[in-house]
Structure 1
Amino acid sequence: MKSVIITIGDEILLGQILDTNSRFMARELAKLGAETVQMRSVADEKEAIWKALDDAFCVADAVFVTGGLGPTKDDLTKNVLAQYFGTELVFNPQAYAWLEEMFSANPQRLNAYNKSQAMLPRACTPLHNVKGTASGMWFEKEGKVLVSLPGVPFETEYLFPAEVLPRLKEKFHDLLLQYRMVTVYNIPEAELAMRLASYEQKLPKGLSLAYLPSAGFVRLRLTAKGAAVERLDTFWTALLQELKGLSFEEPRSETSQEEFARRLRQSGVTVACAESCTGGNIAHLITAVPGASAYFLGGVVAYSNEVKKQVLGVSEEDLKKYGAVSEPVVLQMAQGVRRITGAQWAVSTTGVAGPDGGTPEKPVGTIWMAVAGPNGARAQKFVFSHTRERNIGRGSIQALQFLLNEIEAANR
């Protein structure tokens, strides 16, 4: 099954909100074995929506649309879909009963605009939305499917698995697409591709390898389509053999931040951080995942030398002799934050994020990081890129990976 995902909304095109719905649906479809061939965003305009639907049905068996189902006049999706499928809007008693239940505490708020959400295209199968006032809609025509869902992410994230996926499984019986993923750390994408060149040449038709680089790691995705699904396990085993000697892990269905959180939680220790060039980004990555208070005690953003000295206890003599971007300083930063927070483990960073401030000895992208634990402290130096944002991102991820590796090595 080939699918196209369309998001409708001027607010997406203006950059006012992020399109998280497309990512969510694509991931769910991939688990099912469907292939998403296009994603696009269009304005709240009849002509734009109509053309996007025409284009989508040229290449897809199923089209998934989010957005434009609100009660106001600028939400056009429902009306456009009714015209597109040659039908009319009719009153739906079940949808209205749900609206009455939703507004039972404040019946006066059930105004004409809200009541209009009980008007649905005659040709659709309504999808009951217990998270909001806008019903989802399922259309079928000439063996193809269109699903329209609300633009509010938590509503789509309920409706898609609860109402849409079961219907897709009944409708399409030839869903044959599977994939495996592995995360490889501390190797550039180009170098990894060179290492796997001969492996890729041996991949048969229907099997493909994709590289998904991020700061500090590369995710590899091995995808099998159609008859090649039967050979996926064989070539997956061969891929893992090719990666021997590198640091890699088969990821669970989680983000890198969730992965770090899981590993920290499993370690059973407490951690802290002292950051200079990463400016608090390490603390942000840790605390972005709920439950971080179980293992994260706190952090210090020691951007100036005065804070390094007065708060973390870094030696003024070492700052003068070696500079802030140095091994002695980063080691003292990690030891200092471990001491003042009482954490069992600590990680620290100091470097030249850029775009200015580099020297021949310490070019932009130079980052020292250290990990301090019960048995002492260890430092590493990295030189990343000339781009500030990339240096902060890669430095933060690399520091967290360094911290986790040291903790896990000590626990073995």
Structure 2
Amino acid sequence: MVAEIITIGDEILIGQIIDTNSAYIASELQKLGVAVYQITSVQDDREHILKALRDAESRAQLVLITGGLGPTKDDITKHTLTEYFEDQLVENQEVLQHIEFLFEKYISTPISDLNRRQAMVPSKARILHNAHGTAPGMWIKGKAAVFVSLPGVPFEMKQLFQDQLVPKIITEFTRPVLLHKTLITYGLGESAIAERIAHWEDSLPVHMKLAYLPNLGKVRLRVSIRGTDPEALQDELQQRLGELKMLISDILFAEEDGEPLEVTLGKLFRAKGKSLAAAESFTGGKIAAQLTAVPGASQYFRGSLVSYATSVKSGLLGVSQALIKEHSVVSEAVACAMAANARKLMHSDIAVATTGNAGPTKGDSKSPIGTVYIALATENGVFAEKFTMGNHRERIVQKSVHKAFELLQKEILKY
């Protein structure tokens, strides 16, 4: 089964906003066994949208559209869909009641006729309830494909996608089984890995694929398999993965099922019943931000103390000024003290700490830019590792966050 995604909005094409909707939709469709053939972004223009709809229907069985559903004149998706399907707009009473409810309970400005106009939908559309917004989703059957129009606001779209659209895709379409497994490697580049596993990769059957996903010091190897028998596919996938692991055992760090490492970490900490705290310097709270972006983080994550300034490390965090003076603020000793004190202050089982030079200047440290120390404090002791992360500030920070998560994963798996 093949799908296409169309995003509508001038703001995407001029770079005013980043199209995160397409990435989310494509990722979720893959989980359902739906392959995305093409993603297209078009401006708020009638002819441009009509052409995109025609082209998509010629290639796909499912076409998902986001954006252009607002109350203002530049939001023309509904009108263009009505023209495409030779339909007319009608007022949907359920949508109207929901809009009036939202304004009465959550919106301070008075409701206007412009807002009520969002209850006007194509008569051929089946409404997908948008619990968090005024623009409903719409499901319309075309001659060769089903068209689904979704709101452009990301949190509205995601909730509607999961609650309303996923069940309909499952019941309305026959889909293949699609399984993924990702191996995370460190210490070898993409091309070197490709040379090492070339024979294994060449032997893969046509229903299996390998993708190389290099990013910030690591290479993820995603193996995908497609078919109809879930048990047989799982057995075949595990057999092939076993062969691959033997070839890369010296650089293999972890496995994942296509989810971010912070999600995997949360599952592991909750399963082990352990708590986590952080003391961050140059990472500026990014460890905490990524952990707490995942629902349920409060079950294991105590918090983070962002001790960006040296005075805060010695003051609030309690790192000895003598220790800082002797070893420098960017050092193994200070990183270990930060982790140990954070663990004690926040009464956690494990604590992680970061200190380093992200540049462009050296600040209070004499260490070269890119020098990073990441420490872990556990019930078994405290240790730190030194890394050299290059000279690009943003990459230094994000690579360090990734490395902190990797060290945490390795540690929590010991319990």
TM interval, short-chain normalised: 0.7 to 0.9
Per the TM alignment, residue 78 of structure 1 is displaced from its structure 2 partner at its CA by: 0.6
Name 1:134's counterpart in structure 2. Answer: 135
Give the whole-Å Cα distance in 2 for the aligned partners of 1:273 and 1:97: 47
Q: Describe the superposition over 1:250-302 as per-residue Cα deviations: whole angstroms up to 9, x where unpaired.
A: 33x74322222222223323332222232222232333334434433343333
Identify if the C-alpha distance between structure 1 residues 353 and 228 changes in structure 2 by more than 3 Å, giving closer, same or farther: farther
1:11-410 aligned at under 5 Å gives the runs 11-92=11-92, 95-96=95-96, 111-169=112-170, 171-173=172-174, 175-176=175-176, 178-184=178-184, 186-190=186-190, 191-215=192-216, 217-225=218-226, 233-244=235-246, 245=249, 246-251=252-257, 254-357=259-362, 363-409=368-414
Q: Partner letter of residue 113 of structure 2? A: A
Give the whole-Å Cα distance in 2 for the aligned partners of 1:31 and 1:310: 48
SS at match of 2:206: coil
Identify if the C-alpha distance between structure 1 residues 350 and 223 changes in structure 2 by more than 3 Å, giving closer, same or farther: same
Q: Partner letter of residue 30 of structure 1? A: Q
Per the TM alignment, residue 241 of structure 1 is displaced from its structure 2 partner at its CA by: 3.7
Identify if the C-alpha distance between structure 1 residues 206 and 330 changes in structure 2 by more than 3 Å, giving closer, same or farther: same
SS at match of 1:243: helix
Give the whole-Å Cα distance in 2 for the aligned partners of 1:298 and 1:189: 35
Q: Partner letter of residue 50 of structure 1? A: L
Per the TM alignment, residue 337 of structure 1 is displaced from its structure 2 partner at its CA by: 2.7
Give the conservation status (yes or no) of the 8 Å contact 1:206–1:227: no
Q: Which runs of 5+ in 2 are unaligned?
A: none
Give the whole-Å Cα distance in 1 for the aligned partners of 2:197 and 2:33: 26
Identify if the C-alpha distance between structure 1 residues 369 and 47 changes in structure 2 by more than 3 Å, giving closer, same or farther: same
Give the whole-Å Cα distance in 2 for the aligned partners of 1:234 and 1:40: 35
Q: Partner letter of residue 396 of structure 1? A: V
Per the TM alignment, residue 56 of structure 1 is displaced from its structure 2 partner at its CA by: 2.1
Q: Across the two proteins, how many residue pairs are aligned to each other?
A: 405
Give the whole-Å Cα distance in 1 for the aligned partners of 2:355 and 2:129: 53
Please, what TM-score do these two structures have when normalized by structure 2?
0.83
Give the whole-Å Cα distance in 2 for the aligned partners of 1:124 and 1:202: 47
Q: Partner letter of residue 198 of structure 2? A: A
Give the conservation status (yes or no) of the 8 Å contact 1:349–1:369: yes
Identify if the C-alpha distance between structure 1 residues 111 and 296 changes in structure 2 by more than 3 Å, giving closer, same or farther: closer
Q: Describe the superposition over 1:148-202 as per-residue Cα deviations: whole angstroms up to 9, x where unpaired.
A: 12223344334434444444445543x2351312241544552544443332111
Identify if the C-alpha distance between structure 1 residues 124 and 408 changes in structure 2 by more than 3 Å, giving closer, same or farther: closer
Give the whole-Å Cα distance in 1 for the aligned partners of 2:131 and 2:350: 45
Name 2:8's counterpart in structure 1. Answer: 8
Identify if the C-alpha distance between structure 1 residues 408 and 231 changes in structure 2 by more than 3 Å, giving closer, same or farther: closer
Per the TM alignment, residue 65 of structure 1 is displaced from its structure 2 partner at its CA by: 0.5
Give the conservation status (yes or no) of the 8 Å contact 2:178–2:227: no
Mean CA deviation greater in 231-240 or 72-81: 231-240
Give the whole-Å Cα distance in 1 for the aligned partners of 2:375 and 2:131: 49
Per the TM alignment, residue 368 of structure 1 is displaced from its structure 2 partner at its CA by: 1.5
Please, what TM-score do these two structures have when normalized by structure 1?
0.84
Give the conservation status (yes or no) of the 8 Å contact 2:128–2:137: yes
Identify if the C-alpha distance between structure 1 residues 164 and 278 changes in structure 2 by more than 3 Å, giving closer, same or farther: closer
Give the whole-Å Cα distance in 2 for the aligned partners of 1:294 and 1:169: 32
Give the conservation status (yes or no) of the 8 Å contact 1:43–1:49: yes
Identify if the C-alpha distance between structure 1 residues 136 and 374 changes in structure 2 by more than 3 Å, giving closer, same or farther: closer
SS at match of 1:59: coil
Give the conservation status (yes or no) of the 8 Å contact 2:177–2:228: no
